[in-house]
């Protein structure tokens, strides 16, 4: 395995961003996202990233496997995330969150065969560097919240919270809701609201967390 990670912005981002849609459609069906997307929905989602000049896209490829794409990650400055601001903007100051200093990790998705091999750690550091170059010194992301007794949770599911905390993030008491076509406990797909919790790095003290 020889995995190289390329950093894209501008024209190269436009050329490569389709791999993010492919990974979202393929892997976000898994718990906890349970997302059943459409090509049209992905085009609309990706258009927002393309229009945002702070967007940076990382694409990891295994050079020993015919340049197979094995992971994708994307980030933007938090100050440019208008929908997040619409929902939680008023609560950010009380958590000492200055949007212009925070870089937001949108998605990090990996081929199952390449998980737990250190690729995520490398991509995380690269996204942090991308944010620092744009003036950020703090980092955050949103993670889907599911109940521990959710019947859709696979028996072998590894709790993501353990991984998030390992990499120095803490869950705040701030959350947002987004709607998407979601796999229901009976297998049906319905467009429902899903809660996502805001996680931030632990450099700041006095942060309300849970």
Q: Which residues of 90-99 are buried (b: 16+ CB within 10 A; e: fewer)?
A: eebeebebeb
∠207-208-210 over CA atoms, to 5°?
125
Residue 174 CB partners (closer than 8 Å, separation 6+): 88, 91, 92, 95, 197, 198
pLDDT of residue 136: 95
Would you state the pLDDT for residue 58? 98
What is the number of residues in the chain? 210
CA-to-CA distance for 88 and 71, rounded, in angstroms? 29
Query: What is the greatest pairwise CA distance in the chain?
Result: 49
Query: Helix or strand or coil: residue 92?
Result: coil
Q: Which pLDDT tens digit goes with each residue over 67-126?
A: 999 999 999 999 999 999 999 989 998 888 999 999 999 999 999 999 888 899 999 999
The 8 Å CB, 24+ separation contacts for 23-27 are 23/69, 23/71, 23/72, 23/109, 24/107, 24/109, 27/109, 27/110, 27/111, 27/112
Q: How many domains does the chain have?
A: 1
Residue 86 in any domain: the answer is: yes
In a domain, 206, yes or no: no
- In the predicted structure, residue 208 carries a pLDDT above the cut 80: no
Residue 35 DSSP class: B
Report yes or no on 210 lying in a domain: no
Does residue 55 lie in a domain region? yes
What is the domain range of residue 18?
Answer: 3-201
* CATH number of the CATH domain containing 109: 3.40.630.30
- In this structure, is residue 208 part of a structural domain? no
Mean pLDDT of the chain: 92
């Amino acid at each position: 395995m020889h995995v190289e990670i390329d950093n894209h912005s501008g024209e190269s981002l436009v050329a490569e961003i389709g791999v993010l849609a492919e990974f979202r459609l393929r892997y976000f069906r898994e718990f906890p996202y349970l997302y059943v997307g459409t090509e049209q929905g992905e085009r609309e989602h990706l258009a927002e990233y393309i229009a945002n000049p702070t967007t940076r896209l990382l694409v990891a490829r295994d050079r020993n496997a015919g340049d197979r794409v094995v992971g994708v990650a994307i980030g933007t400055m938090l100050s440019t995330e208008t929908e997040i601001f619409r929902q939680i903007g008023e609560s950010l100051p009380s958590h000492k969150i200055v949007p212009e200093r925070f870089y937001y990790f949108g998605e990090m998705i990996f081929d199952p065969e390449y998980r737990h091999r250190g690729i995520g750690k490398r991509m995380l550091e690269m996204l942090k560097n991308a944010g620092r170059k744009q003036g950020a010194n703090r980092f955050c992301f949103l993670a889907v919240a599911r109940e521990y007794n959710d019947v859709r949770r696979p028996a072998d599911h590894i709790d993501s919270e353990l991984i998030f905390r390992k990499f120095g993030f803490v869950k705040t008491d701030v959350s947002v809701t987004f709607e998407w076509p979601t796999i229901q406990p009976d297998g049906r797909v319905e467009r429902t609201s899903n809660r996502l919790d805001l996680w931030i790095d632990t450099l700041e003290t006095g942060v309300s967390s849970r």
